[in-house]
């Protein structure tokens, strides 16, 4: 295994704050009704709708986890993080480029600070958002194994309905300025690397970052960044009750005619049972269950990046999962980023294209 050759990803010894949850995603869409139809089949529940935005929720106490704003062109805008205290929010407001603290005009209220990360994605940092009553959901199915029979004189028959989404799990981004962007999140929000993917020369190709919740177990990753040629959304993941819910989601989404992206399988890093679907604009949305969780002391792993290393079992990751649609605008952006970004060389762009293009 090559030694990691970069300053990031690494833990920051004294981050500005330690974020505690991934609160929501923000998308711009030219057809909000179509977005709502996809997300309802996917398992999210409409919480409210205004003239400006559609808010969807999961079964947990977050007032919403997905915001769809009306835009002429489809685009990913950013996401929200929550902090523990008002003092934390005041510290975030002192980060260069941050907005002053303001009252949130979105579902759940609270106070918010808006920032742009070094790659241009919006980050809304929230304190004091009002929780909502959790939605009921079925219990995980008791599993009979070869060594232990937990389900006796009973059957398992999950309903053939959209899976009940428990909550927003993580967001994955492709980044041209990998070092600056990764360092911004570890420095200001206390993200911890769980696993780092490297190219044969040891330079980072991706990182799975988790929240630092001390001795409270945190998901293996809440934010994933991969070295890309332009900053763009890769996917978002939503936790469901169990593997049967992943399978039922596959059946429901397939029956509704949505475009499948990859799955069903089990990831190697993070261990989740996964299944990916594309929304009407091609953005990937993942159902998952049974992911790893770590406390603060668990050390980071370093792994040679490969297509085969993306899953323990399941169908091979298709080329369409990572291959961007080449347009004149994208080609121009790639040329500009190769000439500008210290993280993106022609050699690295070629290596990434051979791996995932």
186-198: pLDDT as tens digits: 999 999 999 999 9
**Whether pLDDT at 95 is above 90:** yes
- Whether the pLDDT of residue 2 is over 80: the answer is no
Give per-residue pLDDT as tens, 198-246. Answer: 998 888 999 999 999 999 999 999 999 999 889 999 999 999 999 999 9
Q: What integer is the mean pLDDT of 250-272?
A: 98
Which pLDDT band holds residue 342 (cuts at 50, 70, 90)?
Answer: confident
Taken in order of first residue, the domains within the chain and their CATH numbers are: 21-130+164-356 (3.10.180.10)
From residue 240, alpha-carbon distances to 42, 43, 91, 243, 338 in Å are: 11, 9, 34, 8, 39
Q: What is the pLDDT of residues 145-175, one digit of tens each?
A: 999 999 999 999 988 999 999 999 999 999 9
Burial (CB count within 10 angstroms: exposed 0-12, middle 13-18, buried 19+), residue 87: exposed
How is residue 303 written in tokens? 């792994």
Alpha carbon distance 207, 222 (integer Å)? 11
pLDDT band at 330 (very low <50, low <70, confident <90, very high): low
* Mean per-residue pLDDT, 95-112: 97
Residue 307: per-residue pLDDT:
86
Q: Which pLDDT band, with edges at 50, 70 and 90, does 293 fall under? A: very high
Q: What is the mean pLDDT of residues 6-34?
A: 96
Query: Between helices 328-340 and 346-356, what is the axis angle to 10°?
Result: 130
CA distance 40 to 163: 10
* Structure confidence at residue 352 (pLDDT): 76
Mean pLDDT across the chain, nearest whole number? 94
Are the C-beta atoms of residues 224 and 181 closer than 8 Å to each other?
no
Place of tokens 């990913």: 76
The pTM score is: 0.95
Is a pLDDT exceeding 80 seen at residue 337?
no
Using CA atoms, how far residue 315 sits from 130, 265, 308, 310, 311, in Å, is: 42, 7, 10, 11, 9
Please answer whether residues 64 and 279 qualify as being in contact, where contact means their C-beta atoms are separated by less than 8 angstroms: no
């Amino acid at each position: 295994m090559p030694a990691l050759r970069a300053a990031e990803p690494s833990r920051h010894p004294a981050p500005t704050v330690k974020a505690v949850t991934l609160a929501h995603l923000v998308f711009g869409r030219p057809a909000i009704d179509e977005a709502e139809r996809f997300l309802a089949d996917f398992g999210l529940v409409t919480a409210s709708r205004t003239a400006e935005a559609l808010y969807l929720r999961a079964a947990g106490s977050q007032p919403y986890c997905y915001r769809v704003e009306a835009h002429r062109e489809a685009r990913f805008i950013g996401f929200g993080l929550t902090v523990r205290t008002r003092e934390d929010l005041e510290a975030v407001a002192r980060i260069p480029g941050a907005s002053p603290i303001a009252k949130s005009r979105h579902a759940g209220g609270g106070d918010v600070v808006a920032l742009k990360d070094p790659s241009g994605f919006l980050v809304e940092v929230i304190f004091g958002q009002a929780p909502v009553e959790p939605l009921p959901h079925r219990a995980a199915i008791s599993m009979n194994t070869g060594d232990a029979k937990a389900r006796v004189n009973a059957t398992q028959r999950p309903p053939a309905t959209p899976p009940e989404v428990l909550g927003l799990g993580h967001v994955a981004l492709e980044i041209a300025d990998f070092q600056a962007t990764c360092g911004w999140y570890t420095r200001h929000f206390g993200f911890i690397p769980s696993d780092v993917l490297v190219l044969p020369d040891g330079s980072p190709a991706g990182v799975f970052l988790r929240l630092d919740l001390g001795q409270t177990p945190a998901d293996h990753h809440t934010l994933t960044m991969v070295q890309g040629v332009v900053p763009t959304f890769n996917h978002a993941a939503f936790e469901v009750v169990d593997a049967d819910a992943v399978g039922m989601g596959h059946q429901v989404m397939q029956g509704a005619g949505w475009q499948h992206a990859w799955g069903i399988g089990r990831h190697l890093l993070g261990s989740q049972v996964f299944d990916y679907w594309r929304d009407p604009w091609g953005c990937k949305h993942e159902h998952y269950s049974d992911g790893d969780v770590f406390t603060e002391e668990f050390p980071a792993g370093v792994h040679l990046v490969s297509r085969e290393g993306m899953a323990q079992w399941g169908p091979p990751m298709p080329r369409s999962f990572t291959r961007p649609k080449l347009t004149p605008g994208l080609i121009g952006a790639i040329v500009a980023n190769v000439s500008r970004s210290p993280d993106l060389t022609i050699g690295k762009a070629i290596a990434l294209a051979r791996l995932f293009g």
